[in-house]
Amino acid sequence: MIKLIDPLEGHENTLDLKQVVTEVFKEEGSLQKILEFEHRPQQEQMAHAVLKSIDSDEHLIFEAGTGVGKSLAYLIPAILQAKYSNRPCIVATNTINLQEQLLHKDIPSIQKLFSQSEDLHAFEDFRCALLVGRANYLCTTRLRKALLGQGELFESRERKELQRIAEWADGAAKEGIRQELSPPPLSTVWDAVNADSSMCSSKRCNSDHCFYRKARAQVEKAHIVIVNHSLLFSLLGAGVSPSNDADGVIFPNDFVIFDEAHEMIDEASEHLGISISSWALESSLRRVYNPAKRKGLLKRVGRLSDFDHVESGIHAVSDFFNHLHTANLGQKDRLRLLEPNQLPMDILPPLSKVARGLIELGENCEDETLKIELLDQSKKFQGYIHALSEIIELKNEDCVYWIERTGKQKQIIHLRSAPLDVSQILEVELFGKNSPVIMTSATLTHNGKPKRFIEASGCKTGEHTIVESPFDYEFNMNIRVFEDCPEPMSQDRTKYLDYLVRSLDSLAGSIEGGTLALFTNYQDLNYCYQHLKKSWLKKQRSVYAQGIDYSRSELRSRMMEEGDVLLLGAESFWKGFDAKGPALSQVILTRLPFENPNHPVMEAKNEKLLKEGKKAFFELTLPNAITRFRQGVGRLIRSKTDLGELVILDSRILRKPYGKLFLAELPKERFERDSLFGSEEEDFS
């Protein structure tokens, strides 16, 4: 029971939040009457489970099938508790699509519900805020300083970019985050004006003019704070927590809800490790001073020795990464580091000299603005030195270390590390803070049990519940499994790839709506795209491919607008792509989604399991593939009225003993066996 003071009547009322939630979600409740949403018993069950979790400070794992209405089921009880218990709620999502849904669809719906329900008027002034990483925000104080010193800092092209940012800040900017700028800002310029600096502090900036300070002010007053997984785990990794040993994960006495919780283990691993790129190091040095253009922070205050040290640092970084490119990676895109001190340490002394020089100049600088920037840069280089030393020496035996190439041209080299087991970290830093953590997704269990997720996440206490999707898959979905697909892993893959091209053309070309074909690698995707685009041009229908021309959101928009496209997707398209209606009438799984066993993290985990006497395929590879398979299947039916066909081309699902485990995860038992064999051949060259 919660006591609250009615601000209009001035007398004390006692409110039973459990009863309020019942009145909202029950048959003929306010959710149905006011918003005209259909009653879903599973949604009502979830809302009560969330309320109980928060009220009792117990963790909750809740698997809810597609269509349950998870977001309203956790948002409404979370808002009710947050507002009148004065407890901030952090909602962590993994995709921008879900963040936008929460902010632009779900939150306005709840505001309408509260404003039009007599019993909920006291809650209608709840506050919600979005928080992204501070490097995404523009700091107008730094912008103003950069404009004053642009002659020292930037070349002509960069000065034009600075002016574009300034014009945007004065007019079109809403949240003041770089994602609002199109085209995206130059990184070299944005680094000089974003809020990730000691210059952007409460002493020098305020919420009246600084976008980051405005966002922070909104967050401090908010009942619901929406963040992404990466920011939350980055904050945990940086040791951000309530002061004075107060309970709470990020804020005092808070509680956390993870939506898309199936992604949280990988996201934690990604952001609790190290990542240093050749591009980041080179850019940081040139921001301090660019010898070729004689621009940078040191232009006015640097000594000859400082200029020499920066130039030596640039050469050392170039030599170091060239060595990684030629001597280590060679023709490989990724290489695991197994022995300490195998990488050249020549990079460390020049960077140390740069860091020391920045400290000396910063401490003696009379210009307060420049002083702060110099000392900030010195801290950044000290961080680089510490991280490089850890990677070179492989200091943490509980981490895996590797080198990899990234970028469209594979021209950027990264040094990476990741904890081998995040469960021990999360058990302390997330689940041990005396704050309830609620985790929800459509894919948290295996064989109906959350044991594997519990072990991987470190959440050893709390409740776990599963509710099925309310969709009628027997009626809405048809499933076809092809028997004649060649072995995808054979030495000569020509037959397999030609089969993919022929089947995609036939299957996608035979329906009026749109098709999403899901791949497990970009090589196969690109092969199919190159062999299909000419024939589909003749049909006056579009074929699009992830990573070729358009962003993920643009690809979705084109699919929805044109209504009959063939879209080839990989990686993130298996788990976060959402398109309702006939524009997505068919999903084709080209291959069972087994992860690359040669990735350093997978390789190290496999080795650990083998040492424990366990079979890595059954303990790790297969469960991961089944989870991703379930996510891919879930792309097809996204609403109660959706109709569509699921096609599985990989015949291993019928031939291999493990195939029955995949088939058991299909949302209906019956499927058709089919074959492409005998189809007329067509020239796609």
Is residue 680 situated within a structural domain? no
Is residue 216 situated within a structural domain? no
Is residue 303 situated within a structural domain? yes
* Measured distance CA(535)–CA(518) in Å, rounded: 20
All residue ranges of the chain with pLDDT < 70 are 1-14, 677-685
Which CATH number fits the domain that encloses residue 551? 3.40.50.300
Residues 6+ apart with CB under 8 A from 418: 269, 270, 272, 273, 399, 400, 601
Calculate ∠ Cα 11-12-13, nearest 5°.
Answer: 120
Q: Are residues 543 and 641 in the same domain?
A: yes
What integer pLDDT is reported at residue 14 of this predicted model? 63
Convert the pLDDT of each residue in 307-325 to its tens digit: 999 999 999 999 999 999 9
Q: Are residues 505 and 458 in the same domain?
A: no
148: helix, strand or coil: helix
What integer pLDDT is reported at residue 9 of this predicted model? 41
Q: Are residues 568 and 638 in the same domain?
A: yes
| Residue of 143, 157, 147, 145 lying closest to 293 (CA atoms) | 157
User: In DSSP terms, which residues pair with 453 in a beta bridge?
Assistant: none
- Residue 645 phi/psi, 5-degree rounding, is -120, 135
Q: How many residues does the structure list for the chain?
A: 685
What integer pLDDT is reported at residue 13 of this predicted model? 54
Q: Are residues 42 and 186 in the same domain?
A: no
Q: Are residues 91 and 144 in the same domain?
A: no
Q: Are residues 520 and 451 in the same domain?
A: no
Q: Are residues 192 and 258 in the same domain?
A: no
What integer pLDDT is reported at residue 684 of this predicted model? 40
Cα-based distances in Å from 401 to 334, 411, 415, 554, 610: 11, 20, 8, 35, 19
CB 320 within 8 A of CB 276: no
Give residue 154's domain range: 136-205
What integer pLDDT is reported at residue 596 of this predicted model? 86
Encoded tokens for 276: 């240093």
Q: Are residues 406 and 429 in the same domain?
A: no
* Measured distance CA(440)–CA(65) in Å, rounded: 10
Q: Are residues 596 and 653 in the same domain?
A: yes
CB 246 within 8 A of CB 389: no
Convert the pLDDT of each residue in 414-440 to its tens digit: 999 999 999 999 999 999 999 999 999
* Measured distance CA(139)–CA(117) in Å, rounded: 40
Question: Burial letters for 440-462: b for 16+ Cβ neighbours within 10 Å, e otherwise?
Answer: bbbbbbbeeebebbbebbbbeeb
What integer pLDDT is reported at residue 113 of this predicted model? 97
Is residue 210 situated within a structural domain? no
Q: Are residues 459 and 578 in the same domain?
A: no
Bridge-based pairing state of the strands 644-648 and 2-5: unpaired
pTM over 0.85: yes
Is residue 213 situated within a structural domain? no
* Measured distance CA(524)–CA(505) in Å, rounded: 15
What integer pLDDT is reported at residue 303 of this predicted model? 95
Cα dihedral across residues 645, 647, 653, 654: positive or negative: positive
What does the DSSP assignment read for 9-32? T-SEEEE-HHHHHHHHHSTT-HHH
414: helix, strand or coil: strand
Is residue 311 situated within a structural domain? yes
Work out how many domains the chain is built from and give that number: 4
Convert the pLDDT of each residue in 527-543 to its tens digit: 999 999 999 999 999 99
Q: Are residues 534 and 623 in the same domain?
A: yes
Residue type, 8: L
Q: Are residues 287 and 164 in the same domain?
A: no
